Amino acid sequence: MFGLGKKKVKVRAVFAGTAVSVAEIPDPVFSGGMLGEGFAVVPPAEATTIEVGSPVAGTLTKVFKTGHAFVVTSSEGLDVLVHIGLETVELKGAGFTILAQKGDTVEAGTAVVRLDLDVVRQAGLNPITPVVFATKKQVGSVATTLGDVNAGDVAATVTLA
């Protein structure tokens, strides 16, 4: 009752930048909540490369072969989708270096993908990186902490359903 005893998962910023709400993501699939609640991180304009870290401790359950997205399942069982940039699947892996593989055990902050932001920007794509909780039935509530973040700062606390 009242959420007492429910597990909470601290979800961390995947790189330094500005954390924004999903409603601010300029893509209706994300902003409309179709892929779940969460937040996004906008890299600094002056950044040329980012290492995208795991937002939680757990297991990498999916790493897309193009490097544009991955899913990590937290040790508490929460599935977290990290989608690096918008429409970046169109790059077919250009600019992405995969640093960890499906099945790897990761800590929060473990680098999973390195991205050359110049490749994304030269293609006219947005490097905003949504971090969403795609399995909606797992999520009871989400509290976000938005604004400037360093890699590893807590950007959301998820109370599991």
Which positions are annotated as active-site residues? Answer: 83
Burial of 104 (0-12, 13-18, 19+ CB in 10 A): middle
Query: Alpha-carbon distance 82 to 72, whole Å?
Result: 8
Question: Hey, is 91 helix, strand or coil?
Answer: helix
- Binning the chain into helix, strand and coil, the percentages to the nearest 5 are 10, 45, 45
Could you count the other beta carbons within 10 Å of the beta carbon of residue 81?
21
Sign of torsion over alpha carbons 102, 108, 111, 115: positive
